[in-house]
Amino acid sequence: EDKVVQSPLSLVVHEGDTVTLNCSYEVTNFRSLLWYKQEKKAPTFLFMLTSSGIEKKSGRLSSILDKKELFSILNITATQTGDSAVYLCAVEETSGSRLTFGEGTQLTVNP
């Protein structure tokens, strides 16, 4: 059974801090790993990672995948209160075309 584990489950930081969110996975036929940000409603897409060692970057957010060790990290630098959200990690398998999600990391950024 596919499994995705995120850590920490909850994190409280101050504005300006840098945070690292972790995602480890076990999946039979790995295709991609995705990161989403969820505020009050629908998850919104951040990154899709398919290759090891290639960093994806968008503004203050970046992410990298290690397919050998089966994990990914999401970094957020110079955090802002608007970064407060649940960050979801999901893995997609090649067959069955479905995503398995982790529980998410609740990030709270205090002013």
Positions that interact with other proteins (CB under 8 A): 1, 31-32, 34, 36, 41-45, 48, 88, 90, 92, 96-104
Q: How many CB atoms lie within 10 A of CB 25?
A: 21
The two three-digit tokens of residue 33, written as one number: 């790993």
Rounded to a whole number, what is the distance in angstroms from the first to the last CA of the chain?
A: 41
Phi, psi of 81 (to 5 degrees): -60, -30
Q: Which is nearer to other proteins, 83 or 92 (CB)?
A: 92
Q: Which is nearer to other proteins, 42 or 69 (CB)?
A: 42
In the complex, what is the shortest distance from the CB of residue 42 to other proteins, in angstroms, rounded to a whole number? Answer: 4
In the complex, what is the shortest distance from the CB of residue 14 to other proteins, in angstroms, rounded to a whole number? Answer: 26
Q: Please give the Cα distance from 36 to 40 (Å, whole number).
A: 13
The two three-digit tokens of residue 4, written as one number: 């995705």
Q: Cβ distance 54 to 64 under 8 Å?
A: yes
Q: Which is nearer to other proteins, 23 or 76 (CB)?
A: 23
In the complex, what is the shortest distance from the CB of residue 5 to other proteins, in angstroms, rounded to a whole number? Answer: 10
In the complex, what is the shortest distance from the CB of residue 81 to other proteins, in angstroms, rounded to a whole number? Answer: 23
Q: Which is nearer to other proteins, 17 or 30 (CB)?
A: 30
